[in-house]
Amino acid sequence: MLLFVLSAGLSITFGLMRIINMAHTSFYLLGGYVGIAVWTQTRSFWLAVVVGAVGMAVAGLVLYSGFLRRFSKEDELPQVLLTFGVLLILADVALIAWGGDVKRLPPPDFLQGGIELGPLTYPRYRFFLIVSGLVMAVLLWLFVSRTRLGSLVRAGVDDAETAQSIGINMPLLFVLVFGFGSLLAGLAGVLGAPYLGVYPGLDFETMLLAFAVIIVGGAGSIEGAFIAALVVAAVDTFTKTYLPGLGYFSVYAPMALILAFRPNGLLGRSL
């Protein structure tokens, strides 16, 4: 679920703007750190969530308006390389600022402890993550398929040029979408902090998972990202539990298979 929130943001920026934002998971990592910093100051979990998410939206806007906008959309390689440079810089900055230890964000009181589900006891916070992930999935789906802004976004995904020519302000839309994608990354970062912790290298680790989701699910498709996130996370967890030697490897096997048969992903449109 967490992976879904993270990769949904990536999927819409990639699908709409053809920008592969390698620094996307840097925002995820930084969102977690910022959330923890806010929590230490204020002891408010919800404020941490808001500040982490909004902070990353701002960071995304700066990255986009400051650098990425200079390149035309056909030039995807410079964008990848540039955001990759940003990824390296932010990873090292985070290491300087917050050190190498795992940091955790304590969940709010009412989400601590377990929840009884028949014979099973399930940690409340994870339950909360699943529920909020589902809610977010539904909201995103409604947003994309039912609102005016959502239909503009879809128009942009399908054919940016035509959308522009019928009077949609694409540059503005791009800025908004990029900011929104970064917001989702920051949100996922803070929400994930109580569960996974925040530590150096998390950005690289999740980056590969997130890109696996995009590739499996198909760029620009919320439903695809949702299904793929479930598949990738399930496969990943399953092999890490039962075949620990193959843990990292397992993520790439479905990815390779999908690519071999459906180069555009399960629900993706051709790029």
Q: Which residues pair with 38 in a beta bridge?
A: none
Q: Which residues contact 247 (CB under 8 A, 6 or more apart)?
A: 236, 239, 240
CB-nearer residue toward another protein: 58 or 88: 88
* Closest separation in Å from C-beta 96 to another protein: 8
* Closest separation in Å from C-beta 67 to another protein: 7
Q: Among 12, 30, 86, 157, which residue sits at the site for another protein (rule: CB under 8 A)? A: 86
The pair phi, psi for residue 120, each rounded to 5°, is -95, 150
* Closest separation in Å from C-beta 19 to another protein: 9
* Closest separation in Å from C-beta 97 to another protein: 12
Binding footprint of another protein, residue count (CB under 8 A)? 40
Q: Among 202, 215, 222, 233, which residue sits at the site for another protein (rule: CB under 8 A)? A: 215
Indicate the Cα dihedral angle 143, 145, 148, 152, nearest 10°: 100
The 8-class DSSP code of residue 220 comes to: T
* Closest separation in Å from C-beta 252 to another protein: 5
| Contact between 87 and another protein per CB under 8 A | yes
| Contact between 143 and another protein per CB under 8 A | no
Distance from C-alpha of 22 to C-alpha of 271, rounded to nearest angstrom: 18
Closest by Cα among 40, 13, 3 to 219:
13
CB-nearer residue toward another protein: 24 or 188: 24
218-257 mask for another protein (x: CB under 8 A)? --------------------------xx-xxx-xx--xx-
Q: What is the DSSP string of 173-193?
A: HHHHHHHHHHHHHHHHHHHHH
CB-nearer residue toward another protein: 96 or 166: 96
Structural element, H or E, at residue 120:
strand 120-123
The pair phi, psi for residue 116, each rounded to 5°, is -85, 120
Indicate the Cα dihedral angle 154, 158, 159, 164, nearest 10°: 0
CB-nearer residue toward another protein: 144 or 255: 255
Closest by Cα among 108, 87, 109 to 22:
87
CB-nearer residue toward another protein: 85 or 114: 85
* Closest separation in Å from C-beta 16 to another protein: 15
| Contact between 206 and another protein per CB under 8 A | no
Extended strands (E) in 187-247: none
Closest by Cα among 133, 156, 161 to 225:
133
Residues in region 52-81 near another protein by CB under 8 A = 67, 70, 76-81
* Closest separation in Å from C-beta 212 to another protein: 7
Residues that bind another protein (CB under 8 A): 20, 67, 70, 76-82, 84-93, 95-96, 204, 208, 211-212, 215, 244-245, 247-249, 251-252, 255-256, 259-260, 263, 271
